[in-house]
Amino acid sequence: MKTIVELRQEIINSFQKANILNPILEAEVIISKILGVERYFIHLEPEKLVPEIKIEEINKIVERRLNLEPLAYLIEQKEFYSLEFFVNKNVLIPRPETEFLVEYTLKKAPPRAKILDLGTGSGAIAIALKYNRPDFEIYATDISKKALEVAKKNAYNLLKDTKKINFLSGDLFKPVKDLNFQIIISNPPYLSPEIYPKLNSELSYEPEIALFAADNGFQIIKKIISQAKNFLTKEGFLILEIDPGLQDAIIKLACEKKYIFSFFKDYAGLIRVVILNESSS
């Protein structure tokens, strides 16, 4: 057996050699996850012996991490908007920049707003909205039934009831063809398939259907923008996460469809979100 502090240092050394960005944090997250304790316990009882069976579990995860499998998949957990979401390889890992979509909607949505989350994946956006504003009526669609299973599990874990959100299986607007919404929100696939060979190894573990779209990444966004007016109320708005390289194509399409639009930057200073609403002209 090894002590916690010995095991921790071994993992940190391995991660540093592999150029993993946050070796200390990730080592502690893995150890605490397998031992079933909070991270602070590692520092409270560093000399505590770790059972061999737990060391084997930890080493298996460490080996997978050294192959650049994302930590979120290894521990089946990712924080988003201060909530802990279950994630697996059937869903995109929620990112901090996507929190902007939630923040903006919480600020701008009217009371009891009817909201549609297209391509909900893990349910991160829809659940974060419902958790913070129980008055919202939220619909969430996804073409992947396996992704919807993950979203429903998160709704049960975080909202204590899967029925608080209307989860619907189908492509984009098809499951809600007779409904209208004050807000339509989406983090759609927006990467060009041509960049796949250039992707870092971590991203290659995530579901391609949630990452890539034809027409240089524009196909799904184009569909959403083109169809959204059929599902938005007159004062409603559409909010999308986008790739910065799609800005010009979005401007052209938005003008054609007579939308007023605004772009917002992410934490890295890159254009990452577009908000569109119907022009009054």
CA–CA distance, 144 with 9 (Å, rounded to integer): 40
- CB atoms under 10 Å from CB of 20, counted, come to 19
Q: What domains are there in the chain, each with its CATH number?
A: 2-67 (1.10.8.10), 79-278 (3.40.50.150)
End-to-end CA distance of the chain: 73
Confidence at residue 83, expressed as pLDDT on a 0 to 100 scale: 97
Confidence at residue 281, expressed as pLDDT on a 0 to 100 scale: 47
- pLDDT, tens digit, for every residue of 253-271? 999 999 999 999 988 899 9
Q: In residues, how long is the chain?
A: 281
CA–CA distance, 221 with 246 (Å, rounded to integer): 9
Under the banding of pLDDT at 50, 70 and 90, the label for residue 279 is low
- pLDDT, tens digit, for every residue of 96-144? 999 999 999 999 999 999 999 999 999 999 999 999 999 999 999 999 9
- pLDDT, tens digit, for every residue of 186-235? 999 999 988 877 777 788 899 999 999 999 999 999 999 999 999 999 99
CA–CA distance, 147 with 187 (Å, rounded to integer): 14
